A = this chain, B = another copy of it.
């Protein structure tokens, strides 16, 4: 009946809530904020989602499954471990630039609720992604291209930390890099992503790179 191209009231609420939860947090975002941003009646939120918290969980679920889908492709994209590492880091930055809400939302969830709301979602999406990244590192260690004295799980954490930190700390990094008053330009973010791939591969490799 109503085509899937015309965004339903439900989807408009979901989109508006995602943006507001990311920018202001669950607590500081009011039902009326969401209604106004969605161009819908605030009371509709209760009709579709039951409560503000259930809406929040719906938002988290959508972001996490999106992230897992994109991340999975990157791990498989290259046969050589070093190239796969670079691909994962590049995909991370691409995802984050395309979904600026995602990192804010997830970091808030980690700090505000210690991942309680997202625990089940993390285990069925991000955790398998993490395991596969660890697998790539272990494979590199077996074929001799990576140093054997690093713990693969720790190395995976160090690898993905770079882009996440860059994104979260972007206002501070803007100050550090003395890049004007308003944040870090996207071009710099892309340069950093290339650097982060090199940095991780350099840390993992037995010989110097390039």
Contact = CB atoms under 8 A, between A and B. Distances in A.
Contact of A127 (B24, B168, B176, B191): B176
B177 A147 contact: no
Nearest to A198: B150
Contacts of A164: 161, 165, 169
Contacts of A115: 171-172, 175
Interface string A174-195: 0111000001000000011001
A203 interface: yes
Given A164-B165, A168-B107, A208 B207 contact: yes
Interface stretch (A10-18, A35-43, A55-63, A152-160): A152-160
Given A154-B191, A158-B162, A176 B130 contact: yes
Contact of A161 (B127, B161, B176, B203): B161
A53 to B, nearest CB: 13
**What DSSP secondary structure best describes chain A's contact surface?**
helix
Nearest to A133: B176
Contacts of A154: 191-192, 195-196, 199
A153 to B, nearest CB: 6
A76 interface: no
Contacts of A72: none
Contact of A157 (B131, B192, B200): B192
Interface of A: 24-25, 27-28, 104, 107-108, 110-112, 114-115, 119, 122-123, 126-127, 130-131, 147, 149-151, 153-155, 157-158, 160-162, 164-166, 168-173, 175-177, 183, 191-192, 195-196, 198-200, 202-210
